[in-house]
Structure 1
């Protein structure tokens, strides 16, 4: 039987991994999306790279990372990060660029700086798209973090793989059930947070 202490310890490791990866992916993706607004070259490069990273299967990404970085927490973080970049970059870029050019021209005409245009015009209009990208990335990060246990990241995936290898259903469930609960909590939590921060999106659906 798997002890509660083991399950809690692996859950903690899993949460640390996905939290750091999600924060890192947001910190990388959003500035890249903003930079893409000012350079067609950067936009094409970023979107193509993100699409390429997303097109490659998760296990293949992990297999490519291992020869380059080895095994352990850091290689796992990089592998998960490559999977999480696309939804945030693409949604943020689409949200920021899908603004009426006349509105931006008007803002410049009344003397607003680029920073003010981003803060008061682009970002408020892009919030729903950005939030959707982050929410999808969070769910994706949780699932890929299970696979990275194969290269020594620890967490709930470690229990699942140990259970699969030893045909131990208790270990499989001990890892799978918390992972499923985390995915549900992410979905429900992000939806609740979105309703709180962007009530205008739901005012016609309640």
Structure 2
């Protein structure tokens, strides 16, 4: 049978907290790393290799990997989700920042803008479409990995899904899966709305 709405309240809240905290942490870590990589070839190599390595490892292995290092529970789950969501943010941000027309950078330097001002007023605005594409993909990844982290005690909708699978209860499994799909759609819509507000029409 279906899980009552009252009983779904806590798993939904846990799932949202898991996905959003990990996603925000990925953004706060990934974008600065991409910016710093523009000015350090060695850092760029290290960041890209590590990001690609984490993306190449299967999601289940990433979740299992954190257990012997930091145990089980909420925060290990956050680390697992963060590791999975970092690559699209780092890679898309770096591509967006580095693919700018060199003449535009030269013009900005010519009028006396500092490197920080060039990043803030020239590189970042022109990179917004690529950055938002990476963030939206990372949001979908974070939402899906949050389901799997129920295996290491994170709670959330994954618990409902796995209980349904274990009991061969399709209705219970769907009770966990459908809200997760709804959260994924909400995340994508939210970032799409934010992108429309921040990105000038000519840059989309």
| Cα distance change of structure 1 residues 201 and 189 upon mapping to structure 2, 3 Å threshold | farther
List gaps (5 residues or longer) in structure 2: none
Q: CA deviation at 1:3?
A: 2.1
RMSD over equivalenced CA pairs, Å: 1.4
Q: How does 1:9-158 map to 2 (within 5 A)?
A: 9-158=10-159
Partners of 1:27 and 1:69 in 2: how far apart? 22
| Cα distance change of structure 1 residues 202 and 96 upon mapping to structure 2, 3 Å threshold | closer
List gaps (5 residues or longer) in structure 1: none
User: Given that residues 91 and 132 in structure 1 are in contact (C-alpha distance below 8 angstroms), is that contact kept between their aligned partners in structure 2?
Assistant: yes
Give secondary structure in 2 for the equivalent of 1:177: helix
Q: CA deviation at 1:105?
A: 1.9
Q: CA deviation at 1:32?
A: 0.4
User: Deviating runs (4+, > 4 A) in structure 1?
Assistant: none
* TM-score computed with the length of structure 2 as normaliser: 0.95
**Partner residue in 1 for 2:187:** 186
Once the two structures are superposed, what CA deviation does each residue of 1:65-107 show, in whole Å capped at 9, x if it has no partner?
A: 1111111001111111110000000000111111122221221
Name the count of aligned residue pairs.
Answer: 203
Once the two structures are superposed, what CA deviation does each residue of 1:83-137 show, in whole Å capped at 9, x if it has no partner?
A: 0000000000111111122221221122111121111110111010011111110
* TM-score computed with the length of structure 1 as normaliser: 0.94
